Structure 1
Amino acid sequence: MTVLTTTRHQAEPLAHYRLLTAVQQHGFDTAIQRANDAHDADRYNAAMHTAGLAIGIALADGAEITQCACQDCYCDAVFDTSGPDLIVIETTDYGVQRFQCAACADDHPATPED
C-alpha cells in the first residue's frame, strides 16, 4: 500500500544561530556585515564564503547564506538563500535581500516587502 503525504519538502537549516559558539556567532555576524557593506561582487562573495566557514559550512562558489529574518517568532535558522519556499521580506538599498526561512514561511508567512 502506498501512502502519500501532503507535506512539502523544506530545506534543512545549515545551522541554528543559538547553538553556535560565541566565536562562531561573532565570525558569522562580522562576515554578514561585511557582505552587506560590500561594494563589489568579489568582496560580497568572499564575505559570504567567510560567513559559511565561520559556522563550519563550506559554501559553493556564489552561494549566499543568511539568518532567518522572520518577525513573527524567534527563528534562528541559518540557511542557503537558494533553498525552496523562502520568502523575501525586505530588499535593502544595496539590493541585499532578507529572507524568511521555509519553515516560518509555511507556519506564518510574511507578506513580501512588509
Structure 2
Amino acid sequence: MGHAVMTHTQNQITTTLTALTPNAQDAFTRYMEQADNAGTNHDYRTAMACAALTAGIPLPDGGEIALCACPNCWDCQQIFDANTPDAHPFGESDGYNLGRIQCPLCTDRHRATDEQ
C-alpha cells in the first residue's frame, strides 16, 4: 500500500503594495493613514478592515495589518499580519497608532535595531 506524503504550509495573509493597482495603492495608503491617526478604537478597527479589504487579504484574527517598515531595504512593500510572531517591531511610533514593524522575511534577512 502506498503512503501519501503531505506537506503543510502556513496560511499566509500577505500581499505586496506593488501588487495592487495604483488606485488600490492610494486607497490602501489613505486607510492606513486613517488608522494611524484614528482617535477611537472603532475608527482604528474600521480603517484596518478597509485597508485589508482594499489589499485583497482577509483581516487577521488580531484585526491589524502592517506595511513593512524595514529601514534596511525600503523596497519590500510587504503587507502582512501585524501580530505575526516572526515579525519584528522596532523604534518608536511617535504618538501615532501604527508601530514600525519589519515583515518576517526582512526580520530574517536584516533585523532592524532601535538605533536606526
Instruction: Quote the offset at 1:11 in angstroms.
Output: 7.5
Structure-2 residue corresponding to 1:46: 46
Structure-1 residue corresponding to 2:5: none
Q: Pairwise CA RMSD of aligned residues?
A: 2.2
C-alpha distance 80-113 of structure 1, shift in aligned 2 (>3 A): farther
Query: Are the equivalent residues in 1 in contact too, given 2:69–2:101 (CA < 8 A)?
Result: yes
Instruction: Quote the offset at 1:19 in angstroms.
Output: 1.3
**TM-score, reference length from structure 2:** 0.80
Structure-2 residue corresponding to 1:4: none
1:22 has 2:22 as partner: yes
Percent of aligned pairs with the same residue? 36
> Which runs of 4 or more aligned residues in structure 1 lie more than 6 Å from their structure 2 counterparts after TM superposition?
none
Q: Secondary structure at the match of 1:42?
A: helix
Structure-2 residue corresponding to 1:64: 64
Larger radius of gyration, structure 1 or 2?
Answer: 2
Structure-1 residue corresponding to 2:4: none
Q: How does 1:85-96 map onto structure 2 within 5 Å? A: 85-92=86-93, 93-96=95-98
Looking at structure 2, the residues matched to 22 and 37 of structure 1 have their Cα atoms a distance apart, in angstroms, of: 23
Greater displacement, 75-84 / 38-47: 75-84
Which runs of 5 or more residues in structure 1 are unaligned?
1-8
**TM-score, reference length from structure 1:** 0.81
Which runs of 5 or more residues in structure 2 are unaligned?
1-8
Instruction: Quote the offset at 1:13 in angstroms.
Output: 5.6
Q: Secondary structure at the match of 1:71?
A: coil
